[in-house]
Amino acid sequence: MRKTIVAGALIALLTAGILGVSLSAAAEADESQFCSPPVVRMALTKLARLVVLKSELGITNEQRGKIKGIVKAHRDELTGAASDVMSKKKALREAILANNEDSIRSASTDLGKTIGNASVAFSKIVAQAKPVLTEEQIKKIHDFATGNEKLEKEWLTQIGK
C-alpha cells in the first residue's frame, strides 16, 4: 500500500511540477486569474477524474504487484527526475518574480530540457508497465488523458472572462 502511495505521489509530483510552471506563469501575468473559478474548476475536475479513473481501471492484485515492482526498480530514477523538475521549476518561478527576461528564458530552457529528460525516463517505465494492463485499461487511460487535454483547452477559453 505504501509503495502504491509513493509511486502515485511521484507521478503526481511530476504532473504537478509541469502544471505548476503553467500556473506560476499565469499567476505572474495576473494574480487574480490564478485563483479564478476556471483554474480551480479545472484542477478539481482533473482530480475528480483521476479518482474515477482509478476505480474504473479495475487493476487486479497481480497487476498492482507487477506495476509496483516496475516502479520500485526505477524509484531512484523517478525521485531524481521529480527532484530535478521541482528545482528547475523553482528557478523559473524565481526568475519570473525577478522579472528578468534573460533569466526567465534560461530557466525556461533548463526546465524544458529537464521535463524532456524526465519524460523520456517515464516513457521507459510506462513501456515496461503497459504490457501488464489490458487493452481496455489502456484505452481508459488514453481517454482520461484526452479528456484532460479538452479541459485544458476549455480553461484557455475562460482566461480573462
Band (160; pLDDT cuts 50, 70, 90)? low
Dig out the grid coordinates for 7 from the structure. 509511486
How long is the chain?
161
Instruction: Compute the CA torsion angle 79, 80, 82, 85 (nearest 10 deg).
Output: 170
Domain containing residue 140: 2-158
In the chain, the number of structural domains is: 1
Helices (H), the chain: 2-29, 31-34, 37-57, 61-73, 75-98, 101-129, 135-158
Tens of pLDDT, residue by residue over 138-152, are 998 888 888 888 878
| Interval 90-135: pLDDT, tens | 999 999 999 999 999 999 999 999 999 999 999 999 999 999 999 9
